[in-house]
Structure 1
Amino acid sequence: MATRGTLNRIRALHRAWNDRRWQDYAAYLAEGCITHVSGASGPQGKAEQLAWAQSFCAAFPDCRIVTEAYLQLFASHDGARSVAVTRLVGHAVCRPPSLDGLLLEPFQRRFDVRLTEIALWQDGKVAEQHSWLDTEMMRRQLRATVDPKAGGAG
């Protein structure tokens, strides 16, 4: 039974993120929650995780976690640990550089990348989470270049 409860909480957490119900999303994170997000400079607390999620969704307003068909979704027998592997889909609005003084209209580029989350649950809330987003695939799909000043790898 503990496993089923954890799986239901994962789905609810992802639905809250998809619907941008940030109060509900935050309610699934323990006060002392520590999150590790790929690309972040270090671990984040609850407030930083919430701010990161909101800024990511502001940058990609239609992005969503695919909850209808997880690639993998399971919890430990006691419900204390979970793994969710799914897809994150959406669009980015891009503005091409000007061409001989012409300002070109923005266009959308779609992304569909793998998202993996491994969580430790305590009292029905995420106490620690490791999230890995395939940012390299996202970069390729968006045809984005890496800013050398940001210290990213190409």
Structure 2
Amino acid sequence: MAKEMMKSVALSILVLNLCMYIIVCATAGWALNKAIDHEIITGLGIPLPNPYWAVYFPMGNAATGFFIIFALIAGVVGGASCLSGLHYLRSRTENGLASAASAALTAWGLTLLAMGLAWKEVDLHGRNSRLKTVESFVIILSVTQLLYVAALIQSHR
């Protein structure tokens, strides 16, 4: 009885996390696309400006570039861990638990890294509403991903 309840809790958190990771990927992808479209273009023989970054972000602050890259990585790995979790909750094998738990822990670690950069971006100010959305979702995902890992492990006991 308790196993089935934990399985339904894990599945609910998993679906929530999957939706949130998709939103993070879409919004961070928009920011990266905007940065690529507004990249500094120079002619042959013209040097790049001194404070040039490989990816120039026309919005946000100094932490935006790092945050967006790590949010995209965390979003993709988190989405993949959700798919692995869905497969495990459907099949319920020993090997499935190991792969789902390791993928979920990896995604949680990357989400924590992105969350630290989100806090730095919040501290520096000067960002738009879409960046605030990505920051909020990454911070919320750092908590819900941990809850998912705990529910996943408890659903197997």
**What's the TM-score, normalizing by structure 1?**
0.28
- Whichever structure has more helix as a proportion of its residues is 2
Greater per-residue strand proportion? 1
Larger radius of gyration: 2
- Tell me the TM-score normalised to structure 2 length: 0.28
